[in-house]
Amino acid sequence: QVQLVESGGGSVQAGGSLRLSCEASGVRISTYSMAWFRQTPGKEREGVAGFAGIGRWTYADSVNHRFTISRDVAKNTLYLQMNSLIPEDTAMYYCAAEPGSLSQDLRLRSDSYNYWGQGTQVTVSS
């Protein structure tokens, strides 16, 4: 049974940093594409960062050069380091996983992923 559990969300002032974690069980993340998405009420889920193997990552323009996705295969955990946070980053953040290596055009599409975590809230105040 695949399970993804996010943690690390919280409240922070603009300009601050947070690191989100997604601990996976029932899967070996080394064989999966994984990604971070975010969603605010009334809006569609937005792909933030996707990882499909070494050197194969994709970022949304809105977070490029501020967010970094990484993984620790030994810990079976995905991370999202978020720096220079702005109020527009406020959202529920979700971890997603899909077997195999997704191509770049699919990594930030929510319909590319079948496995999802329950989310962790990030709130950035001005």
pLDDT in the model for residue 24: 98
* pLDDT tens digits, one per residue of 75-102: 999 999 999 999 999 999 999 999 999 9
pLDDT for residue 121: 98
Residue type, position 101, single letter: S
Task: Name the H helices within 2-107.
Answer: none
Q: What's the mean pLDDT in 29-52?
A: 96
Average pLDDT over residues 60-67: 96
Place of tokens 């991370």: 79
pLDDT of 55 strictly over 90: no
What's the whole-number mean pLDDT along residues 32-36?
97
